[in-house]
Amino acid sequence: MPNVRALAKALVHAVIVLVGVLAISFVLVRLTGDPATLMLGPEASPADIAELRSELGLDDPLPVQFVAYLSGVVQGDFGTSLRYHRPAFELVVERLPATLELTVAAMALALLVAVPAGMAAGYLRGSRLDHVAMFGAVVGQSMPGFWVGLMLILIFPVSLGVLYTSGRGTLEHLILPAVTLSLFSLAQLTRLARSTTLEILHQDYIRTALGKGLAATAVVRRHVLRNIMIPIASLTGVQLATMLGGAVVTETVFAWPGVGHLAITAVAARDYPVIQATVVVVATGVVLVNFVVDATYGVIDPRLRAR
């Protein structure tokens, strides 16, 4: 039964986080300006603006607005987009698959490259491969995403005539945005894989294993790989959250029809309901990922299960 209690605790925790996120985004969005003025534009008379403000409920005190909003959210009603005149939640949800596709692809790519590369670099410390991998990691970590995206677009579709500059559709469309989005996490994960590998290789039990004649490959597979999975899993959770944020930039650069692209347009148009719906959906995603990561520790690490 302790698991059920832990689960309930985690759930309560998640709800508190989400309400907090909601409250903060609600206030922040409202601090930055009046959507009625922006929606109606310079041609509008003060009377028009006042009318729209009361129509949108912007005249009520903030706490009243927030309570009204919260009670809507509980019923799955995130309000109507000011720009599209459609339910905000629906707008976000219909773009979610594109963002998930991009994020999952980018994370898969990051893991598939970073774990072997980091392990190899750690195992062969000081070798040329190690230097190349670490140089790559530094570069990957320090290049801004939008710049990488623009460069990739210039190199591949524009100069070489392969892959696509923008849009979503085939696997070929996915490659450049996924590479762009993965770079930062790829670099982080590579460094972590390398340092953890180094650390493990210095443990007594590794020396024992090697001493008793176990082949190096078996040592790596049985001991190193297993042990680096725990830090990698927790960093993956953190990085997924970072990626959801990075997706805003990547999606804009590649005209990828995801939630991030929607969020940018919504911010520019002061489309409160859509901004908030996006924040809630993304925050829920991050909370869920952390949940899953916590749960997988038990699977990866038998010691935790035994406890």
The residues of the shown chain that bind other proteins, judged by CB under 8 A, are 32-35, 37-39, 42-46, 48-49, 83-86, 91, 94-95, 98, 150, 153-154, 157-169, 172, 252-258, 261-262, 264-265, 268, 270
Of 78 and 164, nearer to other proteins (C-beta) is 164
Q: Is 53 exposed, middle or buried (0-12, 13-18, 19+ CB in 10 A)?
A: middle
Bridge partners of 80, per DSSP, are: 87
Q: Is 49 exposed, middle or buried (0-12, 13-18, 19+ CB in 10 A)?
A: middle
Q: What is the amino acid identity at position 231?
A: P
> Which residue in this structure is represented by tokens 């990085």?
239
Three-state DSSP at 41 gives coil
Distance between CA 74 and CA 78 in Å, rounded?
Answer: 9
Angle between helices 226-253 and 272-300 (to 10 degrees): 160
Of 63 and 161, nearer to other proteins (C-beta) is 161
Q: Are 198 and 130 in contact (CB under 8 A)?
A: no
Closest approach of other proteins to the CB of residue 257, in Å = 3
Distance between CA 206 and CA 130 in Å, rounded?
Answer: 21
Q: What is the amino acid identity at position 91?
A: L
> What are the tokens at 80?
């109507």
Of 224 and 248, nearer to other proteins (C-beta) is 248
Distance between CA 258 and CA 250 in Å, rounded?
Answer: 10
Bridge partners of 87, per DSSP, are: 80
Closest approach of other proteins to the CB of residue 101, in Å = 12
Closest approach of other proteins to the CB of residue 78, in Å = 16
Of 4 and 160, nearer to other proteins (C-beta) is 160
Closest approach of other proteins to the CB of residue 298, in Å = 38
Closest approach of other proteins to the CB of residue 274, in Å = 12
Of 60 and 172, nearer to other proteins (C-beta) is 172
Of 102 and 120, nearer to other proteins (C-beta) is 102
Of 159 and 217, nearer to other proteins (C-beta) is 159
Closest approach of other proteins to the CB of residue 32, in Å = 6
Closest approach of other proteins to the CB of residue 160, in Å = 8
